[in-house]
Structure 1
Amino acid sequence: MSRAKRRDRHGRGLRGPLAPPEIPISLTRSEKFDDLVRDEVQRIVAPWTEELAGVEFAVEDVPEVPADETRVPLSALRHVDGNPRVIIYRRPVEARSTGTPEKTDRELSRLIHDLVVDELAGLLNLPPETIDPED
């Protein structure tokens, strides 16, 4: 029996992706997380464009935690080349939210929102309620 026959045993064609790569169903967890961060940042930063002109936003998988540290940060504010950078750590944030996919997405979105607001409040020396009054 030829190799092609074994792979197409029932005459349904060769197996392949269920969806083309350009549609959202085929996004990886990392890409979905990046999209959530991007959406929250755009929403929060919109009224503060002048004050936050030089601020960069980044997503990293895991933070570098010293061996003697017991807490794992979810986000950080660093200065890179003179510009402030807000970093959201994907794996620790994802570990905080569990449940059904719909619930997890809401939890992730809310947690990302809170982290971005807190980091920006620290950067601008303002209370978080000033950064996002709807919060």
Structure 2
Amino acid sequence: MVRRRPLVTPVDRARGRSRHGRGGRSSVTGPDLAPVVTRAEAFDRIVGDTAHYLVELWPDELHGVVFQVADMPSTATAPDPADRTVPRWRIDRRPDRVTIYRIPVERLTHLPEKDDVDRRIVVETAVFRAVAELLDKDPWDLAPDRYRHL
């Protein structure tokens, strides 16, 4: 198995909590069970998998693009207060950076069901739309053969 280098970096997310100066918490599952994967870690993994897929399809156009995951947009990057929408991603052309906002993507998308497949589709769609905006393309044009059935 070929190990890929991490393409997605989380932004300002602390791992674990330290209440009342007692230090970090231990794993809930203990040493005998597999570690629990948090929603944030699963989100990071989906964004990373989708980003790797798109970089393999568009190597020249996405060379050097940095993909990041942040929980929420900061107040410094917030849009005009008259605009009542919450951004789900941000594109910075200099430097080439795509930042996906986890909480707006996960919580503001209305789905009839909330299983793992639906969540994955929502996250992949956000990454596709953000990359399409960066490349000035239609999201359906990024991977046309993926959705073409014989």
TM-score (norm. length: structure 1): 0.70
**Residues 1:26 and 2:40 aligned together:** no
> Hey, what's the Cα distance between the residues in 1 that align with 2:139 and 2:111?
26
Q: Which amino acid aligns with 2:98?
A: V
Q: Which runs of 5+ in 1 are unaligned?
A: 1-15
> Hey, what's the Cα distance between the residues in 2 that align with 1:20 and 1:97?
37
Quick one: which of 67, 79, 98 aligns to 2:81?
A: 67
- 1:131: Cα distance to partner? 0.7
- Structure 1 residues 97, 44: CA separation in 2 closer, same or farther (over 3 Å shift)? farther
* Pairwise CA RMSD: 2.6
> Hey, what's the Cα distance between the residues in 2 that align with 1:34 and 1:22?
22
Asked if the contact 2:55/2:63 (under 8 Å) is kept, the reply is no
Pairs aligned (count): 115
1:88 paired residue number = 100
Quick one: which of 43, 53, 56 aligns to 1:43?
A: 53
- Give the structure with the larger helix fraction: 1
- Structure 1 residues 100, 118: CA separation in 2 closer, same or farther (over 3 Å shift)? closer
Q: Which amino acid aligns with 2:89?
A: S
Asked if the contact 1:63/1:89 (under 8 Å) is kept, the reply is yes
Q: Secondary structure at the match of 2:96?
A: strand
Could you say which structure has the larger radius of gyration? Answer: 1
- 1:100: Cα distance to partner? 6.6
TM-score (norm. length: structure 2): 0.64
Q: Which runs of 5+ in 2 are unaligned?
A: 1-26
Quick one: which of 128, 131, 135 aligns to 2:142?
A: 131
- Structure 1 residues 97, 124: CA separation in 2 closer, same or farther (over 3 Å shift)? same
